[in-house]
Amino acid sequence: MLDGSPQELRTVWLEGDTVRMIDQRALPSAVRILELNDVEDVARAIEGMAIRGAPAIGAAAAYGLALAEIRGMDLGRAAARLRRTRPTGHDLFAAIDRVLREVEDGKTAREAAEAYARDDIERCRAIGRHGKRLIKDGMRILTHCNAGALATVDVGTVMAPLTAAKEAGREFFVYASETRPYLQGSRLTAWELGNAGIDHAIVVDAAAGLLLQRGEVDLVLVGADRIAANGDTANKIGTYPKAVLAKTHGVPFYVAAPMTTVDFGARTGRAIPIEERAEDEVLTIAGVPVAPKGSRARNFAFDVTPARYITGFITDLGVLKPADLRARRKKR
């Protein structure tokens, strides 16, 4: 609902000479649209978590370059600013590189950004088609963080097979872990699941082990921010222990992500930079202190799950195994 009426919105889009995006910090209480007028506005929106999710950040950066072109700013300088926003997600860099490459080939930055956004939607639809077959009637699915439409331009990665299975008439249940400290699971994933009519419950992050131990999870399905060439995967902090526990209890663990998230230049997960964010995100919730005054915090935004704990990758090219990624790297 926006201004009292239902509307279909993308996560981020270019309207005239302004980038517009859903301000995800306001959800689920309100749907607020940000209007961004220059590259610095876009960069700060990415850094400030107004937009998050690797594919969505990539599209936002692409549109940021379009704004730079509109404002007559040097694209190389704009690209350098956008690259500094968040270090872990690979789509940010893939999007910037693609726009710059297509500008060299004669396209405008606006044309390249719009093409990137359209392709992101198609990639997510393909993930939905390939992943739908993994979701059976009666399944209980555990997810982590948010990999829905809000994390992409539209459709989502994890949400794509969930909504495709729902549309096919399958009934299943989703556990959304709350995802401290930013609560993307309880604020965003639960909101999207509710809007899609998918039965779900929010659980605290630490409940995943109990659910898996008790046999109450049939499938773990998560997104990704960067996938190394060997299949090691960076995703929101708290993903790695879920993968280890899933392996321990014999539960399949799948990563849903477009091929733009795969960094073939990173041979293993050790090459993936891990962003560490401000302490206040841990020490407060919605601005309210939840720790003693003077306490310090470490706020790691991501962890890396080794490929040996991953059953497969649901991508726009199909369901791949870690060995398939390694083979693609050799071909490259």
Active site positions, annotated: 225
b/e burial code for range 100-138 (CB count within 10 A of at least 16 → b): bebbeeeeebbebbbebbebbbebbbbbbebbbebbeee
Length of the chain: 332
Instruction: Find out whether 14 and 71 touch, Cβ atoms under 8 Å.
Output: no
In the chain, the N- to C-terminal Cα span, in Å, equals 45
Q: Which of 221, 242, 216, 246 is nearest to 138 (CA)?
A: 216
Q: Which of 14, 12, 83, 108 is nearest to 53 (CA)?
A: 12
Count CA atoms closer than 13 A to 123's CA, side-chain side. Answer: 23
- What is d(CA 212, CA 99) in angstroms, rounded to the nearest whole number? 43
Instruction: Find out whether 103 and 75 touch, Cβ atoms under 8 Å.
Output: yes
Strand partners, 253: 220
Q: Which helix (H) or strand (E) holds 318?
A: strand 318-320
- DSSP of 98-109, one letter per residue? HHHHHHHTT--H
- DSSP of 23-60, one letter per residue? -TTSTTT---EEEE-SHHHHHHHHHTTSS-SHHHHHHH
Instruction: Find out whether 249 and 210 touch, Cβ atoms under 8 Å.
Output: no
